[in-house]
Amino acid sequence: MTSQSYTKSTSRSLPIALLRARETVMAPVRDMLQNIPMTEQKWRILRVLDELGEVEQSTIAHEACLLLPSLTRILRTMEADGQITRRQDNHDKRCTKVKITDEGRGILEENLLASLVISSNIEAQLGREKLDHLLNLLEELQAVKI
């Protein structure tokens, strides 16, 4: 930090530090996604649906960090590609319920090994304890009320 800096070191800025760490982690993930091929956003949606089962779009948007207008467009192509299904909710007809298909699950399954290799590599370098601690802190931060 130079004497005329108005701001603290960028590596001690949480938004910047989170971004840089994510870019590091995402590098091999992007290589993997290019082979599928699939965007990061679609991959997150599949992961969220695999985890949560049949859910409404607002939930997906929140969990996958996407805006509803973006999600509408992305789900349209994922439905056309047979990766997800959508149906109107019986009780609240405003809601659309979204579910992953076997084909969507197949994409996750096919890339399970590659995913594991990537996370094992990170774990091997950072150490299991630090990685667990980091994930705990990130979960805690994510829940902070701002």
Partner DNA sequence: TATTGTTATACTCTATAACTATA
Partner DNA sequence: TATAGTTATAGAGTATAACAATA
Single out the residue of 19, 15, 13 nearest to residue 1, CA to CA.
13
Give the shortest CB-76-to-DNA separation in angstroms: 7
CB of 85 to its own copies, least distance (A): 15
Residue 128 CA to residue 11 CA, distance in Å, equals: 23
Residue 120's binding partner among its own copies, DNA, none (Cβ under 5 to 8 angstroms by kind) is: none
Interface with DNA (CB under 7 A): 30, 34, 39-42, 56-58, 65-76, 86, 91-96
108 and 84 Cβ atoms separated by less than 8 Å: no
Any alpha helices (H) in 36-96, and if so which ranges?
A: 40-52, 57-63, 68-80
Binding site for its own copies (CB under 8 A): 1-2, 4-7, 9-29, 44, 47-48, 50-51, 53, 63, 65, 105, 108-109, 112, 115, 118-119, 121-122, 125-126, 130-131, 133-135, 137-146
Q: In what order do the strands lie in the sheet with 84-88?
A: 55-56, 96-100, 84-88
Q: How far is the CB of 139 from its own copies (least distance, A)?
A: 6
